[in-house]
Structure 1
Amino acid sequence: MSLGVSPRQPDLFATTTSFCESRIAADSIYGLLHRECFELFPDEMFADLFTKVGRRSVPPMIVAVVMVLQRLEGCSDREAVDRFAYDLRWKYAAGGLDFDYPGFVHTVLVDMRARLAASEKPDRVFEVTLAAAKQAGLVGRRRVLDSTALFDAVATMDTVTLIRSAIRGVLAAADPSLEAGLRAVLTRDDEYRSAGKPVCDWDDRSAREELVDALARDARALLAVLDGLELEPVLEKAGELLATVVGQDLETDQDGRFRIARKVAKDRVISTVDPDARHGHKTAARGFDGYKGHVAIDPDSEVIVATHVSAGNVGDASAVADLLAQDLPAETAETAETAETAETAETAETAETAETAETAETAETAETAETAETAETAETAETAETAETAETAETAEMVEPLTVYGDSAYGTGAVLDTLEQAGVQTFCKTQPPRAPGGRFPKTVFQVDLDAGTVTCPADHTVVLRKLKSGQVARFGKFCAGCPLAAQCTASRKGRSIHLGHHEHQLAAARAQQTDPAWRADYRQTRPKVERKIAHLMRRKHGGRRARVRGSTKVAADFSLLAAAVNLARLSVLGLDRQPGGWILSTT
């Protein structure tokens, strides 16, 4: 399919422009797209998605406008093409098309998403909106981070349905000859062709146990046949999924029978239809199934500058590297990505290197930066006076330090350490330590990291001992006869104080957030991201509820939603295109 071309000269007497121009506000997203759609989404921007010969596609600019409005208004694909056909605002937004401009089938949107996903720049629509905001001076050096739950588009399966569905997936992925061999080892009276739960007397406990055992044995028999074979990628993936669901939910009893384990496996798969979805918790009392959508916004303009999607059971701090990838040096971003799982001296050394890279943007070390600066000066000036002028100009162009805001989910020691090493000013809330039963928290103990000691409220001092997870101070020998023991611990072994690898950063952060100025800045700035998330989630379909399956597709859809919300914000701010680039018409 070759690239279609959007019409630029509509019929003067049939165009929607004359009808809509006086009825649609200029600062609405329809007005912005009408004026600037050819600049924002020119057909040439999507040329790499099509071949040079073949039938003409629906003009990509028109499809891009429909996709943006679809995400903003929470429409399905069929609803979106109906809107384009009968809602004059949509044709007006696509450059003022004629009243009778032909529509297209909903599969065009499916095809465009598939082409974008397979391309080298799958998020180009979001990137265009962000580039326009940056050129208009709307993106500064402050970022607010937060996440929200994205409900999956499938039903969560129980253990029986999971295993049976995974068996069906293996059989469906096998070629006819291998499928015959696989079916030969099955023992249950089940063809595994129809979806759903198998027939069983669910009120009979022994019948349920026999069903689980039989399903498990069929699954293990299939895996035994596949073991050692060279498999096609689709079949290999189906086999891995079957092994995962069997291993996560089942255990054997004393008689060797398989039964459902009375536990929840870590990183448990909850659906074979969407294996990337997970159980998640936004709070201790409120859970969900699906994904987390992470955003970083500029708090001054409320423009979304980065998005990321993770599984629902992943902590918010794990997305920091992706959200700040454009703002931090590559070395620092890599450190932030690994700091949550590898809090080692090597990580700290990498972070220290990243700090040097932040200080000298054109070099990895200060020495290299000085050499580069000298070389640049030598090329542009022959006298000391010119060299001094060039140095002054370079100093004036130094990037303003980055400031990051986040709630307590981002106030982990690893994140604080990485951002500190990169020279980032951090406004991430750090929770104070607490002890159960209202007993003495860690803060009442005097910790001396330099001396490697900890002193308890009863004035007993012990030496810190190293652990893989950090350090520990054990007061067991002093707790037996201590008059404050009841207020300190209920353990028979006495009180223990555990310190992580980044205890210094956590203590400094807790001390910093007691400053009234710090707290006032945090309270004034961080809540702005909550309003932006409300804009993203205001439509249930395609907002809070994902429209697609799989982390890759969900991430692309979330990025497109962010692009639509950005354009709605830019229209209110007065984005305008001039010969020199994007500006704000109100300035």
Structure 2
Amino acid sequence: MSMRPDGFGEIPAETVRVARAAFPKGSLAIRLRDELGVLFRDEEFADLFPARGKPAWSPGRLALVLVLQFVEGLTDRQAAEAVRARIDFKYALGLDLGDPGFDFSVLSEFRDRLVGADAGRRVLDGILATSREKGLLKTAGRARTDSTHVETSARALNWLEMVTETLRSALNALAGTAPDWVREVSDAEWFRHYASRAEDSRFPQARVKRDAAGQRIGDDGLRLLTAVFSPAAPQGLAGVPEVEILRQVWVQHFHFVDGEVRRRDPKDRPPGALRLVTPYDIEARACGKRDILWDGYKVHLTETCEPGSPNLITNVATTMATVADSQMVGPIHDDLAQRNCLPGEHWVDAGYATAGTLVAASQEHGIALQGPVKASTNDRAGDPGGYGQEVFTIDWDLQKVACPGGKTSTNWSSRLSQNGLPVVRVLFSARDCRPCPVRRECTNSEIAPRRELRLRHRDEHHALHTARQEQKTDQWKERYQIRAGVEGTISQGIQRCGLRRSRYRGLAKTSLQHQLTGAAINLARINAHLTGQRRAPTRISPYAALRPAGSDPAGRS
């Protein structure tokens, strides 16, 4: 297929007349076309199509259809039918009333083109650019970010189902490539165990029998891998993707003990960032946050929060589930800088705010990152009457630290923390600490009765100290309520666009889903702003409204 830019042009007069008669008060699609004009141009997607071939349906129109599809929660068939039958869609797309539209499969093909070129962000950027031109986007003030978990579209599997489905997937792929060879290497029992889906099997309930079943599956998988990588195997079998997945899963879950295949101990398996959880979505990972456990991904939403204008999503970032929130602060700020959407203040939750991210946000982008930082974990810092780091006087130039008792440190050296972060290790002399009258308030170590400090480097130490002091004030706690609004955005994405679960498999396709979700929420919010709809307040149950003033809603003491 090739692309022949034709532009939207003017809306046909007959389409305008019928749309005005059918929607005298307008609709979301009509209103957005009237107020925002053409959101996407064909030229913006020219690199997705070859120069020769049958002309494709307008990619600019397809991009708008994808966003409207997410706004209304339509399937591909329903979206294609809406283009053919709905007057408001024809108005927004600038089509004649008799235009037949396209086959629903065109949407899937266009999404694949967007995924292949990592072009999903262009859709969100197109809406942001138009919103800026119309004065609807204000980015210089405040923004807020939060993340939420996203479940993979593949079914959750227990361990026996996981290894069974991985082996079955490899056998199915090989049967399609070299059926005669698979028939020769297959054991007669394999057809009974692996011809149907694992969920249709009845695994034994007893622990001993389940272990025996796992042992059998491990032996069968190793036998298949040995046959695939043998010189007698047909060329190219080792390169089948399902075979590579089988090899990875078997390395992660089995090993050789005395020449036999044995299941690995849980502590001997790879970390969660590397471990596969399903053979059908190899980029999904298992993760947990508090009491929430899921297999899949994580999405970070950043939105503006300025009064007098709609809160628009300016950045959407999708990662594997095991990527920590703090690792995403830098990439989010870089993305915002590329599209000229950097805020002055960026409000986040505790997962994003660390000493390193506070300093990097300020030095690299001039952003005041605002979020609860963790309390000091230094020795005796949390004990009543104990001496925390704040009572020590630090001379960064001379690399000396004075304790409350007037003694000076004897050693200053650079180290790495348990998390691999650069820190400064400060030691006091045991000769000074042993006779000190306040030693019990300073250290409770009997093995090494002297004080030791672990300090961040200078900039990070000052940033962390300043943030901890500021966050103790009522003024900061009042201002921090700004961040709470982003949770409503996540709720809107879940309820309106199905944000909680991936529609597709793989990180790239899931990321495209989230870019379209962000674009859809923006259109819905612009429409609400244009029609004067008031933002819904936080819902409070009748009983919760009776809570005494000043009490902690979480019930913490």
TM-score over 0.5 for the alignment?
Answer: yes
- CA change 1:570–1:211 in 2 (3 A) is same
- Alignment partner for residue 121 of structure 2, among 112, 116, 123? 123
Kindly state the Cα deviation for residue 11 of structure 1 after the two structures are TM-superposed: 5.9
- The aligned residue for residue 408 of structure 1 is 350
The answer to whether the 8 A contact 2:80-2:101 is kept is yes
- The aligned residue for residue 190 of structure 1 is 190
- CA change 1:517–1:72 in 2 (3 A) is same
Secondary structure of 2:266's counterpart equals coil
Separation in 2, partners of 1:256, 1:494? 51
**Residue type matched to 1:468 in 2?**
L
Secondary structure of 1:431's counterpart equals coil
Alignment of 1:95-244 (within 5 A): 95=94, 97-98=96-97, 101-119=99-117, 121-137=119-135, 138-142=137-141, 143-174=143-174, 189-191=189-191, 192-197=194-199, 199=201, 201-226=203-228, 235=239, 237-244=241-248
Kindly state the Cα deviation for residue 154 of structure 1 after the two structures are TM-superposed: 1.6
- The aligned residue for residue 550 of structure 2 is none
Separation in 2, partners of 1:400, 1:62? 29
The answer to whether the 8 A contact 1:84-1:91 is kept is yes
- The aligned residue for residue 316 of structure 1 is 325
Separation in 2, partners of 1:245, 1:399? 42
- CA change 1:482–1:285 in 2 (3 A) is farther
**Residue type matched to 2:416 in 1?**
K
Kindly state the Cα deviation for residue 17 of structure 1 after the two structures are TM-superposed: 1.7
Secondary structure of 2:502's counterpart equals coil
Deviation readout 1:528-547 (Å, 9 max, x if unpaired): 433333332332x5322221
**Residue type matched to 1:23 in 2?**
K
- The aligned residue for residue 271 of structure 1 is 278
Separation in 2, partners of 1:245, 1:498? 44
Kindly state the Cα deviation for residue 411 of structure 1 after the two structures are TM-superposed: 1.4
Separation in 2, partners of 1:257, 1:480? 60
- The aligned residue for residue 19 of structure 1 is 21
- Alignment partner for residue 285 of structure 1, among 278, 288, 291? 291
**Residue type matched to 1:146 in 2?**
D
The answer to whether the 8 A contact 2:30-2:91 is kept is yes
Q: Which runs of 5+ in 1 are unaligned?
A: 331-397, 576-587
Separation in 2, partners of 1:568, 1:318? 30
**Residue type matched to 1:318 in 2?**
Q
- CA change 1:254–1:422 in 2 (3 A) is same
Separation in 2, partners of 1:305, 1:233? 45
- Alignment partner for residue 433 of structure 1, among 372, 376, 394? 376
Kindly state the Cα deviation for residue 410 of structure 1 after the two structures are TM-superposed: 1.7
Deviation readout 1:455-480 (Å, 9 max, x if unpaired): 77888876455433334457896699
Separation in 2, partners of 1:22, 1:145? 38
- Alignment partner for residue 509 of structure 1, among 458, 464, 483? 464
Separation in 1, partners of 2:180, 2:406? 75
Kindly state the Cα deviation for residue 45 of structure 1 after the two structures are TM-superposed: 3.8
- The aligned residue for residue 40 of structure 1 is 39
- The aligned residue for residue 532 of structure 1 is 489
- CA change 1:206–1:286 in 2 (3 A) is closer
- The aligned residue for residue 313 of structure 2 is 304
Q: Percentage identity across aligned positions?
A: 23
- CA change 1:565–1:441 in 2 (3 A) is farther
Separation in 2, partners of 1:570, 1:233? 53
- CA change 1:399–1:561 in 2 (3 A) is closer
Find out whether 1:545 has 2:501 as its counterpart.
yes
Deviation readout 1:287-316 (Å, 9 max, x if unpaired): 332211112223324222222100111111
- CA change 1:14–1:570 in 2 (3 A) is closer
- The aligned residue for residue 394 of structure 2 is 448
Kindly state the Cα deviation for residue 226 of structure 1 after the two structures are TM-superposed: 5.0
Separation in 2, partners of 1:90, 1:496? 71
Kindly state the Cα deviation for residue 68 of structure 1 after the two structures are TM-superposed: 0.9
Separation in 2, partners of 1:459, 1:271? 60
Separation in 2, partners of 1:155, 1:326? 33
- CA change 1:18–1:136 in 2 (3 A) is closer
Secondary structure of 2:263's counterpart equals strand
- CA change 1:201–1:47 in 2 (3 A) is closer
Find out whether 1:566 has 2:488 as its counterpart.
no
Secondary structure of 2:319's counterpart equals strand
- Alignment partner for residue 262 of structure 1, among 252, 263, 266? 266
Kindly state the Cα deviation for residue 277 of structure 1 after the two structures are TM-superposed: 1.2
**Residue type matched to 1:514 in 2?**
Q
The answer to whether the 8 A contact 1:34-1:96 is kept is no
Alignment of 1:72-83 (within 5 A): 72-83=71-82
Separation in 2, partners of 1:491, 1:550? 53
Separation in 1, partners of 2:342, 2:284? 39
Separation in 2, partners of 1:231, 1:433? 60
Kindly state the Cα deviation for residue 133 of structure 1 after the two structures are TM-superposed: 2.7
Measured on the aligned residues, the alpha-carbon RMSD in Å equals: 4.3
**Residue type matched to 1:560 in 2?**
L
Kindly state the Cα deviation for residue 128 of structure 1 after the two structures are TM-superposed: 0.9
The answer to whether the 8 A contact 2:387-2:442 is kept is no
Deviation readout 1:386-410 (Å, 9 max, x if unpaired): xxxxxxxxxxxx9998543322222
**Residue type matched to 1:241 in 2?**
I
- The aligned residue for residue 343 of structure 1 is none
Deviation readout 1:384-435 (Å, 9 max, x if unpaired): xxxxxxxxxxxxxx99985433222221232223223325232332121247
The answer to whether the 8 A contact 2:378-2:454 is kept is no
* Alignment TM-score, normalising by the size of structure 1: 0.71
Separation in 1, partners of 2:229, 2:462? 52
Separation in 2, partners of 1:86, 1:31? 18
Alignment of 1:332-347 (within 5 A): none
Separation in 1, partners of 2:259, 2:51? 67
Separation in 2, partners of 1:135, 1:13? 27
- The aligned residue for residue 540 of structure 2 is none
**Residue type matched to 2:392 in 1?**
Q
* Alignment TM-score, normalising by the size of structure 2: 0.75
- Alignment partner for residue 424 of structure 1, among 363, 366, 370? 366
- CA change 1:34–1:295 in 2 (3 A) is same
